[in-house]
Amino acid sequence: METQLPRNLGDRVAVVTGASSGIGEATAKALAARGATVAVLARRKERLDGLVAEIHRIGGQAAAWTLDVTDRKAVEAVAAKVLGEFGRVDIVVNNAGVMLPNPIEAIRADQWQKQIDLNISGLMNVIGAFTPALIKAGAGGGPADLVNISSIAGRNIFPSFAVYSGTKAFVTHLSITLRAELGAKGVRVSAVEPGVVGTELLNHVDCKGVQDWFEASRSQMEWLRSEDIAETIAFIVSAPRRMNLQLVTIMPTGQAM
């Protein structure tokens, strides 16, 4: 017997970045299934169109905007369009990111910059564009949520992950500090730190040592699924307004660190 999900987000509007696959796609579906109107943002238009169609088939509400979050002006323009379309935004899931581990002596400056541009600058572009709407929502007496997707790599030590780990440490520390700043304005800020999740993120890895580690770990433990992270995010934003889960770490049961 299929369990009916509570539609407890029926009066809320969510923005999800990096929504064309993985955690972003699963999160958009989870929030829509609970009644939220969802604006899905990513670079791959055909993936977004398919996601919107799927959400509509299950009775949800969604619209898509093609966007590269590293383009600040484009992010601001899309934010204006989302607000024009839906009138407000009170959930932002800052999920777009990239993981490109390599030994530092490989001097992959192109990969360093790409991770900094997307994981840090892109994240900040989204925060800058949507924070005024979140503050307005918080001032209106309802819940308002900024959820930033970080990683356990931001606190744990993994060889060849120095730059990626540095970007995710930024995300976690920024989130905790922003919570202190925005909480008084009615905006909850949460950082979610997953362990190994089976997503397209792993397909971008071109370091053989890291590829071998992931391949070995797949046979040794069951990885997290995107839906696990999505359900956690849905729980975070569904919590009573008085309650802010500021830092949530989600590990595969079999992953030691």
CA distance 157 to 190: 22
CA distance 99 to 203: 9
Query: Would you say residue 211 has pLDDT above 90?
Result: no
Note the pLDDT tens digit of each residue in 5-38: 566 899 999 999 999 999 999 999 999 999 999 9
Average pLDDT over residues 139-160: 95
CA distance 170 to 109: 19
Query: Would you say residue 2 has pLDDT above 50?
Result: no
Annotated catalytic residue within 65, 164, 170, 223: 164
Give residue 105's pLDDT band: very low, low, confident or very high (50, 70, 90).
Answer: very high
The whole-number pLDDT of residue 26 equals: 98
Residues whose CB falls within 8 Å of the CB of residue 230, separated by 6 or more in sequence, listed in order: 23, 26, 27, 29, 30
> Is 164 considered catalytic here?
yes
Average pLDDT over residues 114-137: 98
CA distance 243 to 158: 33
Specify the pTM: 0.94
CA distance 117 to 59: 36
Let me know the angle formed at the C-alpha of 99 by 97 and 102, rounded to the nearest 5 degrees.
Answer: 155
Name the residue with higher pLDDT: 7 or 97: 97
How remote is the C-alpha of 134 from its chain's centroid? 16
User: SS3 for 195?
Assistant: coil
H helical segments located in 87-207 = 109-115, 123-139, 162-182
The whole-number pLDDT of residue 5 equals: 59
The whole-number pLDDT of residue 1 equals: 40
Average pLDDT over residues 67-76: 98
CA dist 206 to 50, 164, 169, 216, Å? 29, 14, 22, 16
User: SS3 for 35?
Assistant: coil
Query: Would you say residue 47 has pLDDT above 50?
Result: yes
CA distance 198 to 155: 20
CA distance 126 to 94: 7
Query: Would you say residue 249 has pLDDT above 60?
Result: yes
> Strands (DSSP E) along 1-78, which ranges?
13-17, 37-42, 61-66
Superfamily of domain 13-250: NAD(P)-binding Rossmann-like Domain (3.40.50.720)
CA distance 124 to 96: 11
